[in-house]
Structure 1
């Protein structure tokens, strides 16, 4: 809303706030309607297993290399940064367990989700945005096909399934990177290091991390598909959809993690 000199400034601020708040409520209703379509088509007949399998492969194959490099670096950096204080207190033996718990409970799930939000979320937004701009989605609707069932549901479910698996893989690779970091100055066998690491890990450390990874996957898949599916006309809207999917997905991942930490703390 543009400023009009004939309108008092307090009234202008109020009208501008009212318009933005109304737009926000409309956006929330639109997202909920989109989520309802996803749930309805997920449990409908004739599930697209072939497209689901393809998306699982695409998500895993596109991300596993980057997750491998990131996991090793995170484990290596955590070990190098944590070792000097533990040496001062004579508690170097606690290093494997500390790194393992940090990776499994927080670093692994969050870093993996943020990477996937950047890589998978932007890919979904750009791909569906391109299909919207080139009117492929419109053609499916006109031909009585269900674009949500064929394009959106397999991508969302693939993200929900694959991101927890990528998280577990990142945890394992991170622990291996920590072992590399320990052996820069010490000489510890991999078997001994793994035994020390998992001696400090409890069942309550793994389950909440895995559960919130499913929610991370749902957030990334839904946001990426929503932004692409509802892209506006014009080629520039594809880039806007991809960028918006990354920013919104990353922010929601942090918010979901904050809520998950509070819930886990109550257990």
Structure 2
């Protein structure tokens, strides 16, 4: 992220204008998405299709990564709590805080930016290259609403995936602590209950909603406005992943400052 910010600061005025133009174009795209909606009978089918591909299709990798991330966090915490005066319940406490506040919403979103974001960019970019988007516009269809709006609606279910990620991450931490011999089950569960603040879960879910919107729209922008041929679709997907990750990290900082600062 810092590297990209430094590039922007040190870039020539022409490049800066290009970045600002892209930002303006992105917000214009968001406005166009909600204009002239597609018929609900068609849109409903598109939304269910996107839910299956973007959310349900990503659950396997989310569960797999969350389980092992929770286990790694627990092991690293346990290995650093070497003082015998510190209670073992702190292992569960640290695992819970790490998973709920950051790893479940933010780390999972970066993975989603790679898996889902690349899919969105490549699918829309392929339609641009093969002139399917031009065909939609010739037929009088709002192509942005037809292509991007179902993705935005589908990703609004992403907080449910984050909630599952929280549960699986903590479960992975418990398995690592108990079966790895780092903490008894009772102590770990006591740490999970220690000073629990339900607002932290709310904070994580609020972040996940914003991240979901970013994951749906930034890759769509790079796919919809890409230029070139079939080889450029791969380049657009890579660029999309980089900028989606950058935006997620920046938004994460801002939301943390606003909601927890």
Q: Same fold (TM over 0.5)?
A: yes
Question: Which TM class, normalised by the smaller chain length?
Answer: 0.7 to 0.9
Partner deviation per Cα, 1:129-170 (whole Å, 9 max, x = no partner): 0000000010111111221122111012212x2321211111
Residues 86, 186 of structure 1: alpha-carbon distance in 2 compared, 3 angstrom cutoff: closer
CA contact (8 A) 2:62 2:108 kept: yes
Q: What does 1:125-204 align with in structure 2 at a 5 Å threshold?
A: 125-159=121-155, 161-183=156-178, 184-185=180-181, 188-189=184-185, 193-194=188-189, 196-204=191-199
1:232 alignment counterpart: 227
TM-score by length of 1: 0.86
Q: 1:213 aligns with which of 192, 208, 215?
A: 208
1:79-119: CA deviation from partner (whole Å, max 9, x where unpaired): 11111333414221121122112111111111110000000
List aligned pairs for 1:19-58, cutoff 5 A. 19-40=14-35, 44=37, 46-47=39-40, 48-58=43-53
Query: Aligned pairs, how many?
Result: 247
SS at the partner of 2:34?
helix
- Give the unaligned 5+ runs of structure 2: 1-10
Asked whether the 8 Å contact 1:98–1:200 carries over to 2, the reply is: no
Q: What's the C-alpha RMSD, in Å, of the aligned pairs? A: 1.9
Check whether the contact 2:88–2:187 (CA below 8 A) recurs between aligned residues: no
TM-score normalised to structure 2 length: 0.88
- Find runs of 4+ consecutive structure 1 residues off by over 6 angstroms: none
Q: Which runs of 5+ in 1 are unaligned?
A: 1-15
Larger Rg: 1
Q: CA deviation at 1:172?
A: 0.6
Paired with 2:52 and 2:193, the residues of 1 have a C-alpha distance of 30
Report if the CA contact (8 A) 1:68-1:170 is conserved.
Answer: yes
**Match of residue 124, structure 1, among 120, 140, 143:** 120
